Amino acid sequence: MSAAHEAARHLLPLWQGGGATDALPQACRPADRAAGYAAQAALAELTGQPVVGWKIAATSQAGQQHIGVDGPLAGRLLADRLREPGAALAIGTSRMSVVEAEFAFRMGRALPPRAQPWTQEEVMAAVADLHPAIEIPDSRYHDFARVGAPQLIADFACACWLVVGPAMAPGWREVDLAAHPVQVWRGGAVAARGQGANVLGDPRLALTWIANELSRHGPGLKAGDLVTTGTCIVPLPVAPGDRVRADYGPLGSLDAVLVA
């Protein structure tokens, strides 16, 4: 069994059952990004779930500090972890217990691996739609801020739940997403404020980053892929019983209920 498949075999029951480990065994522990993505691909295969897109972790300074890395990470999104607005999401075993407000792009055309980098203009021309999203990340490591980027990548880059709202009106292409404000309500009060600039300076830059990351380390982006680009706010602590709403002003809003 390859090291990637051995790592995936250790992570699978934790992913399915809500458990956690201190670290992957040394013999199969990924040492770099390439090994982390190989383990992640093997884990996706073992779950038997369709891959419906990608998430980008740690596109903000607050997000990087939260998981102890110095740059973004890409993680597969599985079909059984996507939810519609208003969904009840189980966080009773969560080690992170935070929510994040994100911009999520739906790809209209594929961006396959190639030798030269994809430009932002090419990437945005391949986008079909933009959606508001709420991510509830989690980790299969007890001390996720200390295990390092390769192990986090192997674990789907801290993926868990993603709530996706309806596509924004076509006018979003004329909006300065970097300057666009986002606020998150928890209960009856605004609990966090942010803007698109917290996502690598601009969500469109984050989308370009993952197009090139997957050109180097993965299958590229496919038509129909959903890509959520990272949190616009400082990750907001939540607990079972909380109801949260991410408000993007005229671009839309969505909510979710957190349960044990």
Provide the token pair at 77.
Answer: 């999104």
Confidence of residue 218 (pLDDT cuts 50, 70, 90): confident
C-alpha 40/C-alpha 158 separation (Å) is 11
pLDDT, tens only, 112-133: 999 999 999 999 999 999 999 9
The strand ranges marked E within the chain are 51-57, 73-78, 82-83, 88-90, 98-107, 127-136, 161-164, 181-186, 189-195, 226-231, 236-237, 243-247, 253-259
Instruction: Answer whether CATH 2.30.30.100 is correct for domain 3-259.
Output: no
Amino acid, res. 227:
V
Checking if the pLDDT of 1 tops 90, the result is no
Farthest-apart Cα atoms in the chain, separation: 52
pLDDT, tens only, 37-84: 999 999 999 999 999 999 999 998 888 988 999 899 999 999 999 999
Q: Residue ranges of the domains in the chain?
A: 3-259
Is-above-0.95 flag for pTM?
Answer: yes
Question: Residues 6 or more apart from 18 whose CB is under 8 A from it?
Answer: 92, 93
